[in-house]
Amino acid sequence: MEIRFGDAVEFDAVDVLRECKWPLNKQPELYPRVVNTSKLLWALMYHSFDGKHRTRLARHLIYRNNRRNLRRIVAEHPADVVVCTHSVIANPTFRAFLTLAERPPFLTVVTDLVTTPSFWYDPRVDHCFVPTETAYRRGLRLGMSPSQMQITGLPVNPHFINSMTSKDKARAELGFDPELPAVLIVAGSEGMGTIYKLVKVLDAQRLGAQLVVVCGRNAALKEKLENRSWNNPRHIYGYVTNYREMPRIMAASDIVVTKAGPSTISEAAIAGLPMIISDRIPGQETGNVKLVTENDAGVYLPKPDRVADLIVEWLQEGPERLRKRAANAKRIARPDAVWEIADAVWDWANRPKFVRPNGN
């Protein structure tokens, strides 16, 4: 929106979770711990709160327990439009806005890709941007109207899209071997999953390829990888914060091995990278695997030894087959999603505010 509209727009980003009472205010720390410790526990938690009636109860309890804080947030942050990008706090925050005599339009941007938690869908919000047809159909089943939702794809930072470059140029800038195929292994921003085990199995073979590992915020994983003995050329990165660096890394690569995170899948599709999904979080990432596999943009292989075998197989097929796989990945890309959403948000921001009936 800053690129599109410049100084005509001002932003106020609010981390609502941090302003809530325990345990919501600890969710950013608890979520990666639970997922890394026990996927079964996370699956039980996810399905316990997913569903129309269970979600309604959870929303009511969240609002009731946090309404004073939520109303304070609303009072302290006047706006012409509100854009919510977190499922759990969408409805409770919207309820706080409903207490105002005049409220701004309230929009939600669904940031799960396919298997979307029911928390995302509130039939009273003004508009909801969904990334896929499957997410749209789920919204209909949960009471949303067709006109209330808009299928846009998942927004990817425009700096990522604009920084994509040719494979040769990216490899030259990053110091990669220009001749060897590059296998990219991405652990996500938190460095989740059994990445070290996967790298160990891969590097046990003479791949005839260079391995590229992005460790995210997992500093211990990065240190462990840097200090081991390697059989193949390697390039190790920590948390990649620069929107110029990650697109160059993807542009320089031929295959990506990743967990089924929505952002990485969306970015890999834009980069035209065939995907090997080696891990997923039960619940919200289950459908992401289906999106990739059904469109022949990649495969799902949770066992590290099978991942290594498949990479060897793909590399032996030669560059022409890899290019075909890359074309399949590009077919599911939605690089214009971020612009479509930004333009719609701007339109809503310029509409009149909603007046509460009778001022009550």
| DSSP conformation letters of 41-90 | HHHHHHHHH-SHHHHHHHHHHHHHHHHHHHHHHHHHS--S-EEE--HHHH
Phi and psi for 240 in degrees, rounded to 5?
-90, 105
pLDDT band at 29 (very low <50, low <70, confident <90, very high): confident
Q: What is the pLDDT of residue 242?
A: 65
Q: Return the domain boundaries, the chain.
A: 2-154+337-359, 158-330
Q: Just give the CATH number of 2-154+337-359.
A: 3.40.50
pLDDT band at 36 (very low <50, low <70, confident <90, very high): confident
Mean pLDDT throughout 84-108?
97
Tokens for 58? 């959870």
Neighbour-count burial of 205, counting CB atoms closer than 10 A to its CB (0-12 exposed, 13-18 middle, 19+ buried): middle
Shared fold status for 2-154+337-359 and 158-330: yes
Superfamily per CATH, domain 158-330 = Glycogen Phosphorylase B; (3.40.50.2000)
Spatial contact of 355 and 13, defined as CB atoms under 8 Å apart: no
pLDDT in tens, 147-164: 999 999 999 999 999 999
pLDDT for 228 beyond 80: yes
Phi and psi for 131 in degrees, rounded to 5?
-85, -25
Collapsing DSSP to helix, strand or coil, 287 comes out as helix
pLDDT in tens, 152-209: 999 999 999 999 999 999 999 999 999 999 999 997 655 555 788 889 999 998 889 9
Q: What is the pLDDT of residue 359?
A: 52
Give the helix ranges, DSSP H, for 204-294: 219-226, 245-251, 262-271, 286-294
Q: What is the pLDDT of residue 189?
A: 55
